């Protein structure tokens, strides 16, 4: 069997759902497990509902109703009035409403998971019903019956042996009845049957979980780009599509923040040597990118930009050296508060780290260490990572930027930069020169 994953962009409207059905027509006779995300920007909208409910702004229900209406509008385009899918989707929306009727839970992240899961539950009900209507027999599966996690809300840790046992018990018998199995990305459940989510953009990871547990022949994720490109096309012109990538290169790229694939996705596939394809849902015949163990020795420069970075310059209050025990203490705090340290450098009396500027967390970190250290924060920065860099690429990337911090290790170059105001980055080219 194979695993396919269709992300939010592929099912953002009725035309998208029809397109997914037409892609799947080509695989009618194959044994497929299909993972589908929430439609379009639904998860962002649900995050707003959760925030409004937590703050009791009085707007949560209104925001939720608007989201419901967007789904019903799509369904009216796809189904006849009175189709049973309307009742099925409504039942799922009502489950979210029950949470909104209660007073907000003390644990924000727990409440988040119970509401946000509605996005993938309704999208999969809609897509499964549409495929069935289009003559493609499809079994809808609740991913929470398979993906077992601990109760780290919003970042559930997969309990692999349990998940694998569930997958092997439930999925093969469904496939044996003929037709596709279609389920949600992004969600799982705890041993007490509470819903968890796996982290934003986690549907790619869900596809890898199913692929790993079911020993899939391959996994394909269908995106709105021709494949993995050597830079984010929303930021750069003249990007190059990479035909093949090794698991290692893909892990490095996603670790540094390439948003095209969720960073946790590749490792489970590599462990079982399952090839992964990144394909375009806009051009399904095109080959896309293959990620596998077959390594390619030469890559063009690959650029990853992580926005929303801050530099923290840390020194001791008495200007003594920042010694190992200080660092041990700082990292312990960072780990506890889930602060991502992306780069670091120490001099005799100061220690500088580049962190992802997650609101609240970084401020809390600074507060918690400020009785022992002096901290200066510089925000509004970007971290640019270039794999297989050439001097030409680096020179181009530096145009219009002030470089605050730079490091080169073998074939990876990283720099923390800020914009010189009023320079348009679209002028910069990253493509062209082969390393």
Answer with the entry of ligand ASP, ligand ADP, Mg ion, none that 185 interacts with (C-beta below 5 to 8 A by kind). Answer: ligand ASP
How far apart CA 21 and CA 91 sit, in angstroms, is 24
Q: Which is nearer to ligand ASP, 5 or 388 (CB)?
A: 5
327 membership: H or E segment, kind and range: helix 324-336
**Residue number, 206 or 352, with CB nearest to ligand ADP:** 206
Question: At closest approach, how far in Å is the CB of 352 from ligand ADP?
Answer: 27
Region from 195-203, 221-229, 248-256, 330-338 binding ligand ASP, contact rule CB under 6 A: 195-203
Please identify which residue in 11, 24, 38, 75 interacts with ligand ASP, judged by CB under 6 A: 38
Decide whether 113 or 201 has the Cβ nearer to Mg ion.
201
Q: How far is the CB of 390 from ligand ADP (least distance, A)?
A: 18
CB of 173 to ligand ADP, least distance (A): 29
Query: Between 8 and 227, whose beta carbon lies closer to ligand ASP?
Result: 8
Q: How far is CA 309 from the centre of its chain?
A: 18
By CB under 6 A, the residues from 103 to 142 that bind ligand ASP are: 119
Q: What would the x/- binding string for ligand ASP be over residues 241 to 270, using CB under 6 A?
A: ------------------------------
Q: Which of 10, 43, 138, 396 binds ligand ASP (CB under 6 A)?
A: 43
| Residues whose CB falls within 8 Å of the CB of residue 111, separated by 6 or more in sequence, listed in order | 50, 53, 54, 99, 104, 105
Q: Dihedral angle at the C-alpha atoms of 319, 324, 326, 329, nearest 10 degrees?
A: 170
Considering beta carbons, is residue 200 or 425 the nearer one to ligand ASP? Answer: 200
Q: Which of 10, 19, 37, 138 lies at the binding interface for ligand ASP (CB under 6 A)?
A: 37
Residues 6+ apart with CB under 8 A from 11: 17, 20, 36, 37, 39, 40, 123, 126, 127
**Helix H or strand E segment including 315:** strand 302-316
- Determine phi and psi for 315, rounding to 5 degrees: -135, 160
Q: Which residues have C-beta within 8 Å of that of residue 392, sequence separation ≥ 6?
A: 433
User: Using the rule CB under 6 A, which residue among 200, 267, 361, 418 binds ligand ASP?
Assistant: 200
State which residue, 48 or 145, has the beta carbon closest to Mg ion.
48
Nearest-approach distance from CB 260 to ligand ADP, in angstroms: 4
Rounded least distance, CB 368 to ligand ADP, Å: 33
The residues in 368-407 that bind ligand ASP, with binding defined as CB under 6 A, are none
What are the b/e assignments for 327-364, b being 16+ CB within 10 Å? eeebeeebeeeebbebbbeeeeebbbbbbbbbeebbee
String marking each residue 173-192 x if it binds ligand ASP according to CB under 6 A = ------------xx------
Stretch that binds ligand ASP, among 15-23, 25-33, 35-43, 279-287 (CB under 6 A): 35-43
Q: How far is the CB of 119 from ligand ASP (least distance, A)?
A: 6
Instruction: Return the axis-axis angle of helices 84-101 and 42-55, rounded to nearest 10°.
Output: 30
Selection from 7, 381, 383, 389 nearest residue 230 by Cα: 389
**Residue 157 DSSP one-character state:** P
234 binding partner (options ligand ASP, Mg ion, ligand ADP, none; Cβ < 5 to 8 Å by kind): ligand ADP
137 closest CA partner among 15, 24, 219: 24
Distance, in Å, from the CA atom of 383 to the CA atom of 205, rounded to the nearest integer, reads 24
Under rule CB under 6 A, residue 202 binds ligand ASP: yes
Nearest residue (CB) to Mg ion, 7 versus 227: 7
- DSSP secondary structure string, 57-119? -S-HHHHHHHHHHHHHHHHHHHS-TT-HHHHHHHHHHHHHHHHHHSPPPS-HHHHHHHHHTHH
Question: By C-beta, is 120 or 326 nearer to ligand ADP?
Answer: 120
User: How many Å apart are CA 127 and CA 139, to the nearest integer?
Assistant: 11
Residue among 7 and 300 whose Cβ is closer to Mg ion:
7
Contact region with ligand ASP (CB under 6 A), list: 139-147, 155-163, 173-181, 199-207: 199-207
Question: Is the torsion defined by CA of 99, 103, 105, 108 positive or negative?
Answer: positive
Environment class of residue 87 by beta-carbon count within 10 Å: exposed (0-12), middle (13-18) or buried (19+)? exposed
Q: Cβ-closest residue to ligand ADP?
A: 7
Q: Which residues bind ligand ADP (CB under 6 A)?
A: 7-10, 37, 201, 223-225, 228-229, 231-234, 258-260
Interface positions with Mg ion (CB under 5 A): 7, 201
Site residues for ligand ASP per CB under 6 A: 7-8, 37-38, 43, 119, 185-186, 200-203
């Amino acid at each position: 069997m194979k695993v396919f994953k269709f992300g939010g962009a592929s099912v953002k409207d009725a035309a998208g759902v029809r397109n997914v059905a037409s892609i799947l027509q080509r695989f009618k006779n194959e044994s497929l497990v299909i993972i589908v995300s929430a439609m379009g920007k639904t998860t962002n909208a649900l995050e707003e509902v959760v925030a409004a409910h937590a703050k009791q702004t009085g707007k949560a229900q209104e925001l939720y109703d608007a989201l419901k209406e967007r789904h019903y509008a799509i369904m009216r385009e796809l189904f006849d009035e009175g189709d049973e899918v309307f009742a099925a989707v409504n039942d799922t929306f009502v489950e979210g409403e029950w949470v909104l009727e209660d007073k907000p839970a003390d644990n924000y992240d727990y409440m988040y998971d119970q509401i946000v899961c509605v996005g993938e539950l309704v999208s999969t009900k809609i897509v499964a019903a549409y495929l069935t209507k289009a003559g493609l027999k499809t079994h809808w599966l609740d991913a929470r019956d398979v993906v077992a996690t601990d109760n780290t809300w919003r970042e559930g840790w997969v309990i692999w042996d349990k998940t694998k046992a569930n997958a092997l018990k439930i999925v093969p018998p469904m496939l044996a009845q003929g037709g596709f199995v279609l389920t949600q990305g992004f969600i799982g459940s705890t041993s007490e049957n509470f819903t968890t989510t796996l982290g934003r953009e986690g549907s790619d990871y869900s596809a890898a979980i199913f692929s790993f547990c079911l020993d899939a022949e391959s996994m394909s994720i269908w995106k709105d780009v021709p494949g993995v490109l050597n830079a984010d096309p929303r930021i750069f012109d003249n990007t190059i599509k990479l035909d093949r990538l090794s698991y290692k290169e893909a892990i490095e790229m996603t670790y540094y923040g390439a948003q095209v694939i969720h960073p946790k996705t590749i490792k489970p596939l590599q462990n079982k040597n399952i090839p992964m394809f990144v394909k375009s849902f806009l051009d399904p015949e095109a080959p896309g990118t293959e990620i596998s163990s077959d390594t390619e020795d030469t890559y063009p420069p690959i650029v990853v930009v992580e926005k929303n970075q801050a530099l923290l310059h840390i020194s001791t209050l008495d200007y003594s050296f920042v010694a190992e025990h200080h660092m041990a203490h700082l990292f312990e705090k960072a780990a506890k508060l889930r602060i991502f340290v992306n780069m670091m450098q120490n001099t005799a009396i100061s220690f500088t780290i580049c962190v992802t500027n997650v609101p609240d967390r970084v401020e809390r970190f600074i507060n918690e260490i400020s009785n022992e250290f002096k901290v200066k924060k510089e925000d509004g920065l970007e971290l640019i990572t270039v794999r297989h860099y050439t001097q030409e690429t680096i020179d181009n990337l530096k145009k219009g930027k002030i470089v605050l911090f730079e490091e080169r290790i073998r074939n990876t170059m990283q720099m923390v930069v800020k914009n010189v105001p009023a320079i348009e980055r679209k002028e910069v080219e990253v493509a062209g020169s082969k390393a």
